[in-house]
Structure 1
Amino acid sequence: YCSKLLGDLGARVVVVEPSNGSALRSWGAKDRAWGGPWAHLAGGKESAVPDDVESARGLLSGLTRTADILILDEGSLWRAALPSVLPERLIRIELSPWGSEGPYAGWRGSEIATWAMGGYMFFTGDPDGAPLMIPGGQSELHAGVHAAIGALTAVRERRRSGHGQTIDVSALESNLSAHAWLISSWIASGSPMNRVPHDFTKTRDGWALFMRAVPNPNVFLLIDQPERMETVEINNIDDWRRQLGQLYEDVESWAQDYDAEEVATKAQELRIACTPVLDARGLSNNIQMATRGWWEYGDDAEWDDLRFPGPGYLMSATPAERRGEAPKLGQHTAALTEEFASTPPPTPPPAMATTDLPLAGLKVVELTGNWAGPIVGRHLGDLGADVVKLEWAARPATRALFMPGPTQDPQKYPYDRAMYFNLLNRNKRDLVVDLAAEEGKQIFLELMREADVFVENNSARVMPNLGLDYETARRENPGLIYVSMSGFGATGPWRDWSAYGSNIEASSGLASVTGYHADQVRRTPLFYADPVSGNHATVAILAALEHRDSTGEGQYIDVALNEAGAAYFFEALMEYQTTREIRRPNGNRDRRFAPQGAYRSAGEDCWIAVSVQSDNDWVALCDVIGRNDLLADSELSTLEGRTARHDELDAAIEAWTSEREQYEGAWDLQRVGVSAAPILANWQVLHDPHIHASRFYQWVEHSVVGVYPYPSWPWRFSRTKPSIRRAAPRFAEHNHEVLSELGYDDEQIAELYALEITSDVPTAPVLIARSGLSSSDD
């Protein structure tokens, strides 16, 4: 996925494959040379297959002398043929399940194993059922996007220093980076994140998902019961919660007369965040995706004409797009061998390589709330950018969730105590300004004149209604990169629909394949689409900076959470495009591996994830669990046979795991090469030996809440290491500092306070849940 992102942005990508081809070719291939996943992810790439190690050495020597980026992962079978000394200018990306160091560095990886330890799996599913994973390679997709972020950052830094570097990216840390309060909820508030009851609303033809946690009395209007609107205090989350059970029973009764899209449309007309659950066919026929031109069309040598999932961002000046067919195995070997046979050695770089932060000197302004937008600013800030966060006194930016203490005591400064805000907004300065006032608009435009990047994640109508849209900002600064993030993008019939990350799991297809069985869907009880879209937006920004630096031209980047989420649904989409089969929930099983699942271990709600990925794994598993009778059964010697008897094998594995603790069972299996891992609850993550050894969580002092651990980043740069230089800002902490930099003197700043253009405290009430929040509260 990393090389697809880079290729779609214009990079030339060469895949050096083994003689039997990349394993990805076999996914969904049936009787073809490759399946839909290869057709999608390999579009526009070149394929080389060396005859032997010697020819591989020659080809790789030439390629690495001229390449900008070398991407390696566990499946890089020609690794031994690489030159012993790589060019100093080369950027080397190392992708792995667990990272190159730590107690689990040698563990066997699998999609379910890294997902099990990455936080989401434990709290997804029914309270009385097994934890669930989202299928479709989520761990590797997260790692791929972060690898692209690392690669583009290093390319930009190399222009300054002349030196390359190595960047380690692990699937585990990429998963851990996709959380807003995984450990904060426990370490600060003592709130476990548990699995919650099914909360989708059944409709006439399927399912819809309402964002229930945010109080919205318009739901009573939706179901024709306006008299109940006066029965709830919308500023009291606990009061709202007490009504949720009965309220949504009534909503479901009302919804039986409508299809899912009708329910969502009627809800959205009342500004209620509700979306239909769309499967692969639903997305293929969706009017919003079609209107925005998200689908890409292209030929494929195996599958003829296909529609391919589009990018997670629309870029006005340099569109990311599929740039050709997927290659046949070894299609370009001869041409590449000839081209790179006599490549001259690269010019030596400067003698001294700097260790300055890679994005030092970059100026970023953000107007963001919740999660998708703030994570973009945090990434850029961690990498060295100067980030100024704009807030409104009347609309403080998500400063309410997970305050320290068992009762989440707000104390005097509740708006500075939210761990959710503090986690997402480090390395930023804070300026409060009323953008509805002319004086506030002027301050905004003054910031735009100096900014390299502006990021906002408001509803699509907000910035145009303020008169502060891209066209207005670019008149002040033609080189500005202006990023708008919204649920469904800045255009199309669903443009003004409101949605949270949980809603996007429904509309982007992810929920349609998550669950225990085909007739009932599930979701992660978090804003899962927020980090997915935020990470994609970061890739787009770094690519736009490359273009801006060479041409002086800025551009507009339109990020729809729904499209970024659908990009992570590509496997099911390509299955439908190639076979017209609609993928449905199937627990934790995978058609490529069997048995695979979540198995109870000793203890209360303790689980181990196990994946048998080959016939050799099957032999090893049977030996460890002491089931020679299963090993002797010839029907079980093949994947097909094991898949047919999966229930029986699940029972056999769980009989063994239930007598062992999580780590005991995982280690026993890993020692013989079977992929396994404990499924970690939020209260376990910080204390896992491997995660602890990696120092992924860093302790940061905040002037109000004190010292707490926060997630760092999944990119391990060998030279220009990211850093946490300042804690998240207090509300309005940098008003005077930023305004002074814009040229305002003390008297002018005092006048802005007098006119209430700026303020030191919020003027809107902060929503507080004194009884604590659960994972069901998004």
Structure 2
Amino acid sequence: MGCMDNAATPHAPLAGLRVLEVATGVAGPYAGRLLAMLGATVVKVEPAEGDPARTIPVDGGPQVSPSPLFVHLNAGKRSVGAESITPEEGLAWADVVLSDRVARDFGPWEDTGSVADPPMLVSVTAWGTGHDDPGSPSDELLVQAASGLLAATEQDGQLWRFPGWQSQYLAGAYAAAAALAGLGRHGRAEVTWVGAARSAVECQAAATLYGVTAPHGDEREEEVRQAGFQTNTFPSGAFACADGYVVPGTVRGKDWTTQCELYGRPDLVLDPRFSWRDRWRNREQLRAEIADWYLARTRREIFDLALKSGWSAGMVLSAQDVLTDPHLRERGFVGTVSGAARGPIPVRPWRVENTTAPTVVRLARRGEDDGWFQPRRPRSRPLWPVRNGLRVVELTWAWAGPFVGRFLASTGADVIRVEAGAHPDGWRTRFRLRDLGTAPGEQHAPTDVTYDASAQFNSLNRGKRAVSVDLSRPDGARVFRELVAAADVLVVNMNHRVLADRGLDGFVREQVERGLVHITMPALGAVGPDRAMPGFGMLTEAMGGFAARFGSPGEGARTSPTYYPDAVSGVHATVAVLAALAARAAGGPGAAIDFSQQEALWLQFGEGVVLAGQQGRSPARLGNAEPGAADAGVLSAADGHLAYVVATEQQARAVRELLERDGGTGGTALSEALTAWAAHRDTDAVREALRAAGARCVAVQHIRSLFHSGTLAAQRMLELVDHPVAGKRAYLGIPVALDGEPLRADGPAPMFDQHTDEVLTEWLDYSPERLAALRGDAAIGTVPKGSRPRARS
């Protein structure tokens, strides 16, 4: 184990990679922190005035210097003052440059063409590199509003900001993925912090749109097809218990009956008020029936009961809980920071078999490494392109796992989904062809059932091929083994037992030894006492720090109606795979990556862990406030909602003067006065007036309006795809552009069993006779019950 003193860990996947970080704030430095955690040597070139993140408060409580946010983002890097290094020296030394400037402000640090062997330039900004404004950390609420995320959080008429700096963290993760995907191209990558990786807005839009909905078609079609299976289930959300809050899950059929057995209330199963159809409508009546059961038990008691019985439930963990949680302790997630700050800090992003991670990382003082930096030091390893034709096998479902294949497919990988007809991906969605709004074709009737037209599934699985292989049959398991033996990457995001229960874990371990990169993605990881928790988004929100900070300051915990942890896990898992592939391409071995979705989410709340260690408290719940701003919030105008940020006291005085001139109410809190003033004005008038007073203000966008207004199309975030069943539709792209071109995955999402014969012939040289025999034994080629087989390609 030992201390990582800002030098690359020798056996880490990115050891030898050189990263020059000229970005400040959150997004760019988070990309640098991820790369540093994976072994890259990251040199932070800090301006004379210092990175503004040094003074950004986590909440409204007492703060220390440097801020816990700065500590989390910058530990493990070397620090060089901007006055002690020239841009030409830095660019000649680096493999990757992380910038936070828009194109019109590019200067010497972005002039990669000025050196003979140019590094990869990754620019991550709030609104896009083509925008006039790069944005600032205090734009977080505005980015969430502009991306459609804020509208997607609506519950009981309230819109709630995602806590912390989620869009900027997510953009930073995309920036790390863009850097690794683009290495060897000597080009430029753009990432924005709203939806994916070109701007913060696009990054967050991607986080919203993949999971909440993929709007296309008419309203009725969306109602039929796009409701996620976590939506309107109950019991759900946060329940108060003896020592905090828990989040019960009621996603699978057995969850409801198992709960009722644990409650000692089997009568609830037969109560007509609480049937599957009526339970949500009567949720408050049901809450009254079961609330006392929760209040009589602790979080751990309820969680352990759930693990033992197979029910899905999660504890709402705070940042303070992370410091003592036995599961996270066994996994080595938290270590110690030394140097310019002291205390606990996340130190490992995921576990890799047969490797160790540092337990101590140093936070350098500004300029502390001026004497260490030698610009003419030769590079210790070449750049590595992730080659086209990479072979990837997916055993995945829902969002997080499929996103890894989606990203890899967009870089040229041949990605194969392995599915079985008995257990279709829940995101495929079963519905009749007549609900599509398109003609079903000559071979099919309007009443035929399809699993091939879900917008969510078709968005996340574009550019892949699908094979139908039943692993429960000996011949099917044999086919799977042969596919994996021919693959470079295996992605699994089911429970930690899925391979072992089928006798495949030893075989996969052997394949890792010959060079396979295998990532497994259970909610809480594959190792640790709590690893059996099911991987549903709201449970991960509870266990990963989100639920403890989301919602009104006056409540104890809340979950969102989104699948946000999947968005976070998908891009972080992509970084994990790309880093392992980079190590392998540079002569390293294969890798067995134990990826915890809980820990990935905690990485985006890492400042809270630092704060808890330094001050013995968890971050306060801020609602829609912006940390460090004089005022911020969401206003209801006559024709919609707006998000605003008043950054300074000077701006606050200007806004008060505006309200006094415009008939507003004086003498009350600024937020209250703004609420009353905006209520009878339209959004355009409110926005322009606040901007004129120096405040920042944007209209809250809805997913449908972003999709259909042309905004995403103008940002080149939409891909028009012609699907054999769903027809021609627009789908959300990946928010990363390499060399100015958005990452694209060729072709539509696969239909069930569409490519089975094709792939087994191409990859494994199966004969027609062998294919026919396997189909005859139902080892391959099964389709979901009730669906009609389609012609295979």
**Aligned residue number for residue 203 of structure 1:** 241
**Aligned residue number for residue 328 of structure 1:** 365
Does residue 758 (structure 1) correspond to residue 780 (structure 2)? The answer is yes
In the alignment, is the contact (CA less than 8 A) between 2:432 and 2:448 conserved in 1? no
Question: What are the residue-to-residue correspondences of 1:158-307 with 2, within 5 Å?
Answer: 158=185, 163-168=186-191, 169-179=198-208, 180-185=210-215, 187=217, 189-191=221-223, 199-216=237-254, 217-229=257-269, 238=277, 246-303=285-342, 306-307=343-344
Deviations 1:198-256 (A, max 9, x none): 8322212221112234433222212123355467999x964665675544443323212
**Aligned residue number for residue 68 of structure 1:** 95
In the alignment, is the contact (CA less than 8 A) between 1:95 and 1:170 conserved in 2? yes
Does residue 134 (structure 1) correspond to residue 170 (structure 2)? The answer is no
Report the 3-state secondary structure (helix = DSSP H, G, I; strand = E; otherwise coil) of the residue aligned with 1:121.
helix
C-alpha distance in 1 between matches for 2:251 and 2:281: 11
Normalised TM-score (structure 2)? 0.84
**Aligned residue number for residue 367 of structure 1:** 395
Report the 3-state secondary structure (helix = DSSP H, G, I; strand = E; otherwise coil) of the residue aligned with 1:534.
helix
Aligned residues: 728
**Aligned residue number for residue 420 of structure 2:** 392
Give the drift of 1:139. 0.8
**Aligned residue number for residue 573 of structure 1:** 609
Change (3 A) 1:505 1:456: same
Percent of aligned positions that are identical: 27
Give the drift of 1:579. 0.8
Report the 3-state secondary structure (helix = DSSP H, G, I; strand = E; otherwise coil) of the residue aligned with 2:572.
helix
Report the 3-state secondary structure (helix = DSSP H, G, I; strand = E; otherwise coil) of the residue aligned with 2:82.
coil
C-alpha distance in 2 between matches for 1:650 and 1:205: 33
In the alignment, is the contact (CA less than 8 A) between 1:315 and 1:540 conserved in 2? no
Amino acid at match of 2:465: R
Q: Which has the higher contact order (CA 8 A, sep 6+)?
A: 1
1:681 alignment partner, one of 671, 682, 702: 702
Change (3 A) 1:512 1:107: closer
Change (3 A) 1:725 1:620: farther
Give the drift of 1:49. 2.3
1:383 alignment partner, one of 390, 403, 411: 411
Amino acid at match of 2:297: Y
Question: What are the residue-to-residue correspondences of 1:735-754 with 2, within 5 Å?
Answer: 735-741=756-762, 742-754=764-776
Amino acid at match of 1:309: P
Deviations 1:156-197 (A, max 9, x none): x43xxxx33343421111111213244425645344999989
Change (3 A) 1:108 1:46: closer
In the alignment, is the contact (CA less than 8 A) between 2:237 and 2:538 conserved in 1? no
Change (3 A) 1:578 1:628: farther
Does residue 315 (structure 1) correspond to residue 342 (structure 2)? The answer is no
In the alignment, is the contact (CA less than 8 A) between 2:138 and 2:647 conserved in 1? no
Report the 3-state secondary structure (helix = DSSP H, G, I; strand = E; otherwise coil) of the residue aligned with 1:251.
helix
In the alignment, is the contact (CA less than 8 A) between 2:179 and 2:189 conserved in 1? no
Change (3 A) 1:346 1:41: closer
Give the drift of 1:492. 1.2
C-alpha distance in 1 between matches for 2:206 and 2:558: 22
Amino acid at match of 2:124: L
Give the drift of 1:745. 1.1
Q: After alignment, is 426-435 or 655-664 more displaced?
A: 655-664
**Aligned residue number for residue 194 of structure 2:** none
Change (3 A) 1:439 1:256: same
Deviations 1:317-362 (A, max 9, x none): 55565773111122223543xx23x68999999xxxxxxx965211
Deviations 1:551-597 (A, max 9, x none): 24101011111111111111222111111122232211134112111
Amino acid at match of 1:17: E
Report the 3-state secondary structure (helix = DSSP H, G, I; strand = E; otherwise coil) of the residue aligned with 1:250.
helix
**Aligned residue number for residue 3 of structure 1:** 32
C-alpha distance in 1 between matches for 2:579 and 2:753: 32
Give the drift of 1:528. 1.3
C-alpha distance in 2 between matches for 1:406 and 1:623: 58
1:530 alignment partner, one of 566, 586, 609: 566
Give the drift of 1:299. 2.0
C-alpha distance in 1 between matches for 2:698 and 2:387: 36
Q: After alignment, is 614-623 or 173-182 more displaced?
A: 614-623
Report the 3-state secondary structure (helix = DSSP H, G, I; strand = E; otherwise coil) of the residue aligned with 1:460.
coil
Does residue 551 (structure 1) correspond to residue 584 (structure 2)? The answer is no
C-alpha distance in 1 between matches for 2:473 and 2:285: 42
**Aligned residue number for residue 24 of structure 2:** none
In the alignment, is the contact (CA less than 8 A) between 2:466 and 2:750 conserved in 1? yes
2:68 alignment partner, one of 36, 40, 44: 36
C-alpha distance in 1 between matches for 2:531 and 2:380: 49
Give the drift of 1:546. 1.2
Gaps of 5+ in 2: 1-29, 192-197, 438-445, 789-793
Q: After alignment, is 25-34 or 694-703 more displaced?
A: 25-34
C-alpha distance in 2 between matches for 1:591 and 1:61: 36
Report the 3-state secondary structure (helix = DSSP H, G, I; strand = E; otherwise coil) of the residue aligned with 2:114.
coil
In the alignment, is the contact (CA less than 8 A) between 1:663 and 1:677 conserved in 2? no
Q: After alignment, is 419-428 or 399-408 more displaced?
A: 399-408
Q: After alignment, is 754-763 or 686-695 more displaced?
A: 686-695
2:121 alignment partner, one of 74, 83, 92: 92
2:652 alignment partner, one of 589, 597, 618: 618
Report the 3-state secondary structure (helix = DSSP H, G, I; strand = E; otherwise coil) of the residue aligned with 2:361.
coil
Change (3 A) 1:630 1:70: farther
2:53 alignment partner, one of 15, 24, 35: 24
Q: After alignment, is 34-43 or 142-151 more displaced?
A: 34-43
Q: After alignment, is 552-561 or 178-187 more displaced?
A: 178-187
Change (3 A) 1:115 1:106: closer
Change (3 A) 1:310 1:331: closer
Give the drift of 1:674. 3.0
Amino acid at match of 1:446: E
In the alignment, is the contact (CA less than 8 A) between 1:193 and 1:681 conserved in 2? no
**Aligned residue number for residue 120 of structure 1:** 149
CA RMSD of aligned residues (A): 3.6
Q: After alignment, is 25-34 or 271-280 more displaced?
A: 25-34
C-alpha distance in 2 between matches for 1:587 and 1:426: 37
Normalised TM-score (structure 1)? 0.85
Does residue 609 (structure 1) correspond to residue 643 (structure 2)? The answer is yes
Change (3 A) 1:241 1:50: closer
